[in-house]
Amino acid sequence: MTQEQRERKLRQEIHGLRVKKFHWPLDAFKYIMSGMGYGDSLRALSEDRLTELKAIMLKYRSHGRPLEYNYDKQGKYMHALMKQAGWTEAQLRAFTIKHYRKSHWNLLEPKERRAVIAMFQQYLKKQETTIIKDSKEESHD
């Protein structure tokens, strides 16, 4: 593999991280790169600088722990229910903002936390009932 091919592969991997891991639009990424002293173009960087930038991006974790560990014990239970229900962190955040005007689980009052857990339990129960009902209908056919 030539140096040009290696550099191209590194640029592709960096853009992959930009999109998949960080969800940064291109303009934001260029701004961040520039702020870190890399300029605003990946093509202008040498293979060593590209490797260095990729390593930084791979190591970076905004809080250093998996998302579940942002929560207390009750929050971890809620997180498990949320995942079972097929919700994402963004959907949960939108829900808590809309219903409680709070952007994170940790900001909710105990009564609000119980309500969120109850909502997920009801949601999962409804899903389970629908699945059972559908399987009974199929078995009667």
Does residue 89 have a pLDDT over 60? Answer: yes
Question: Could you tell me how many residues make up the chain?
Answer: 141
- Please enumerate in sequence order all residues whose Cβ is within 8 A of that of 94, keeping only pairs 6 or more positions apart, or say none: none
* CA 18/CA 57 separation, integer angstroms: 8
Q: Taking the alpha carbons of 41, 43, 46, 47 in that order, is the dihedral positive or negative?
A: positive
If you average pLDDT over residues 108-133, what whole number do you get? 89
87 within 8 A of 56, measured Cβ to Cβ: no
A 10 A CB-CB count for 16 gives 12
Chain Cα centroid distance, residue 111: 27
Does residue 121 have a pLDDT over 90? Answer: yes
The confidence score (pLDDT) of residue 36 equals 85
* CA 34/CA 26 separation, integer angstroms: 12
- Please enumerate in sequence order all residues whose Cβ is within 8 A of that of 32, keeping only pairs 6 or more positions apart, or say none: 24
Tell me the pLDDT tens digit for each residue of 43-86: 999 999 999 999 888 887 665 555 555 778 898 899 999 999 99
Tell me the pLDDT tens digit for each residue of 7-40: 999 999 999 998 988 888 898 888 888 888 899 8
The confidence score (pLDDT) of residue 140 equals 60
Least confident of 61-65, 100-104, 123-127: 61-65
The confidence score (pLDDT) of residue 138 equals 66
If you average pLDDT over residues 76-104, what whole number do you get? 89
- Please enumerate in sequence order all residues whose Cβ is within 8 A of that of 59, keeping only pairs 6 or more positions apart, or say none: none
The confidence score (pLDDT) of residue 62 equals 60
107 within 8 A of 99, measured Cβ to Cβ: no
